[in-house]
Amino acid sequence: MSGTRDDSVPRNRLPSAREIGVDDLVRRMFATYGVEDVPAERIPREPTALPWGELKQTFALPADIEERAGIEIRDDVPPDRSRLELLLSREVDRRTAVKLLAIGLVLGFGFLQTACRALLPVGARSDEEREKAKLSLEEYFKRHYRLMTDEEKRATIERLERLYELETGKRPHISTQGPHEGVLYGYAFNISKCRGYLECIRGCIEENNLDRGTDMRYIRIHEIPAGGFSLARANDSFYHEVPAEGHMYVGTQCYHCENPPCVEVCPVQATWKEPDGIVVVDYDWCIGCRYCQAACPYDGRRFNWRTPHVPVEEINLNQHYLGNRLRRKGVMEKCTFCIQRVRQGRLPACVEACPTGARVFGNLLDPNSEIRWILENKKVFRLKEDLGTEPKFWYYMD
């Protein structure tokens, strides 16, 4: 927060626009949403009592905006808060909304409070709440992960770590470690070894902070009855002693395709393929449209229908921005080959958890790696190869 608090000001009074850093916020809102038709120097620097007519001019709003919304606001006096809120609640485009929010700030109402209550530092009762609100608001205006500078990355990590600490008292370590040069990750699955123990799923849930409330699983193990490899006849929610007589077990998860169709369909580029071959999601850029889920031919993507819940004592604090950090409601998530682990040189949690050795992981670009030995010495296949998606996930047999 910029500015200092005057101790003589009663606690229950809403802090002024200046106290919460208004210019800064307005400028940033404009920068984020590309509202270039308002010259920055015309934005009032402190709360003012500008009449509505003048405000419309300053913020380059159409002259008949209130008329079109069916609201009456006098041009020669400052608009009152309820009128502005009413206007904002009408169907306005994003740029207009940003401008109206900015006008609210300039007029010194604790105005955004209504629009995005949880995000605003205004009116928060304790210092902790105010800090949380301020951090959340800043988070709201950050950029796409791939456009962030190192400094911006550092700042968002600091905010995310602090936010979780404020909420639970535990501070995670969120890494932004990039890909290693000369590495392309690949995975192999031995279908003659898997016995359906589901240790991989347990390992994955614990490692990746998956929602404990719903049946969120990145991995599915399909129990296929003998007589041909058919996923259509498979059961992926079995619960009986395994391995069952006359059945085979085949695991599926995100295959990290070289030509990922999910990436192609994302309308906001919130998902992409990293140079080391891992397909990742920027959880804070995803709009939850689920196009990627529809485009994936392998059922590799999962959607958060509700806020994921992980008990504080079970949380994995070793996190990555593009990996197992905590997700929100309404965003996509999926297997990341445990990006937080593999970029440290470790194996994905499913590989480590598998007691049968059915899962193999390694560097495809290293000709001496285990995964390459399998590709060169075993009979391997991939699912739906004819689609040209080029999964980096092979199945093989003993």
Residue 40 backbone dihedrals phi, psi, to 5 degrees = -60, -35
Q: What is the CA radius of gyration of the chain?
A: 26
Nearer to other proteins (CB atom), residue 133 or residue 322: 322
**Nearest-approach distance from CB 207 to other proteins, in angstroms:** 13
Nearer to other proteins (CB atom), residue 111 or residue 361: 361
Pairing of strands 173-175, 318-320: parallel
**Nearest-approach distance from CB 180 to other proteins, in angstroms:** 4
**Strand ranges for 63-159 from DSSP E:** none
Nearer to other proteins (CB atom), residue 3 or residue 355: 355
**Nearest-approach distance from CB 313 to other proteins, in angstroms:** 13
**Nearest-approach distance from CB 382 to other proteins, in angstroms:** 9
Nearer to other proteins (CB atom), residue 7 or residue 398: 398
Q: What is the DSSP letter of 235?
A: B
**Nearest-approach distance from CB 378 to other proteins, in angstroms:** 6
**Nearest-approach distance from CB 82 to other proteins, in angstroms:** 38
Question: Is the dihedral angle over the CA atoms 222, 226, 230, 235 positive or is it negative?
Answer: negative
Nearer to other proteins (CB atom), residue 58 or residue 208: 208
Q: What is the DSSP letter of 262?
A: H
Nearer to other proteins (CB atom), residue 62 or residue 213: 213
Pairing of strands 393-396, 279-281: unpaired
Residue 182 φ/ψ region, left for φ over 0, alpha for ψ in the -120 to 50 degree band, beta for the rest: left
Nearer to other proteins (CB atom), residue 276 or residue 282: 276
**Beta carbons of 128 and 88 less than 8 angstroms apart:** no
**Nearest-approach distance from CB 237 to other proteins, in angstroms:** 4
**Beta carbons of 391 and 372 less than 8 angstroms apart:** no
Of the candidates 193, 187, 235, the one whose C-alpha atom is nearest the C-alpha of residue 392 is 187
Does residue 318 sit in helix, strand or coil? strand
User: What CA–CA distance (Å, rounded) separates 187 from 364?
Assistant: 9
